[in-house]
Amino acid sequence: MQKALWTVCIFFLTLPAHAVGRLADVTIMDRATGMALPVYHYRGDYWIAGAPGGKYAIAIRNNLGARVLAVASVDGINVISGDTARWDQTGYVFLPQESYQIFGWRKSQAEVADFEFDASRNSYAERTGRPANVGIIGVALFRERVPEVASQSLAAPPHAPPAATNGAPRSRPEESDRASAASPSTPPAELAREPAAKLGTAHGAREWSSVTYTDFQRASDQPEEIIRIRYDSRDNLIAMGVIRRPPPILPSPNPFPDSPVARYVPDPPPYH
């Protein structure tokens, strides 16, 4: 049996938006607005646009009627242990239909360091000498071998003691809400724009997030589903053709420019 960690407090939300996944819905949430970041599907990959300084959360909702284990990584690094990510490492255990938000890098059973978008050179991955996979969020999902009742959890890797993570709610996405990718007719001029500095995920401020251990035995050594969500700045996604550049707003000509304009009662002056 593998040890895992579970959160003391769990939050549930209704209908998530812009999620990716089959066994579980994975949504990237903007923590400033509480809204899901739009997902763009482009050339076989899912993309989101982040903004430097913006905090985000990885929101996961278990779609099954049994527990699942979600091993999460950011920029190629396990979000719980800080090790270079493998899918046999520690992760989060979800009850049937349960939702949970991962806010940051696990620092202890009571704290995380926030996920925060920043220039790649300031990312946790580059600062720890692992720049190769900056710009991607991953979730590997496992079914449980022998289903058993348990609380929201984190599962440990088979060869090392686990760490924990933070929690919160998330909502379920409507397929019609998912943002569409750039069409093949995107003008070459847009694709030729020089991308700005690549975006990564920094090691942000610490905040409280309590977890503990539980047991979880994987039904197989290989994950049943791997979810990949790539990210970069909006300007870079426009330059790459992932997001279509909005058309310019042209002035509207007036067919009768010298005609009198109807007037109505104006607003009163402000109070002094």
pLDDT digit string, tens, across residues 199-235: 999 999 999 988 778 899 999 999 999 999 999 999 9
Indicate the pLDDT class of residue 31, thresholds 50, 70 and 90. very high
Classify burial at 3, counting beta carbons within 10 Å of its beta carbon; exposed 0-12, middle 13-18, buried 19 or more: middle
Percentage of the chain surpassing pLDDT 70?
Answer: 76
pLDDT at residue 190 in the model: 38
pTM metric for this prediction: 0.71
Closest CA to 5 of 144, 219, 141, 166: 166
Residue 253 pLDDT greater than 60, yes or no:
yes
Contact 139, 71 (CB under 8 A): yes
Coil vs helix vs strand at 266: coil
The stretch 162-174 carries a mean pLDDT of 35
Q: Which amino acid is at 245?
A: R
pLDDT at residue 107 in the model: 95
Q: List pLDDT tens digits, range 89-141.
A: 999 999 999 999 999 999 998 899 999 999 999 999 999 999 999 999 999 99
pLDDT band at 271 (very low <50, low <70, confident <90, very high): confident
The single-letter code of the amino acid at 10 is I
Say how many Å lie between the first and final Cα of the chain, rounded: 73
Positive or negative, the Cα torsion across 58, 181, 16, 153?
negative
**pLDDT tens column, 185-200:** 444 443 344 557 899 9
> Is 265 in contact with 83 (CB distance < 8 Å)?
no
Distance between CA atoms of residues 131 and 150, nearest Å: 37
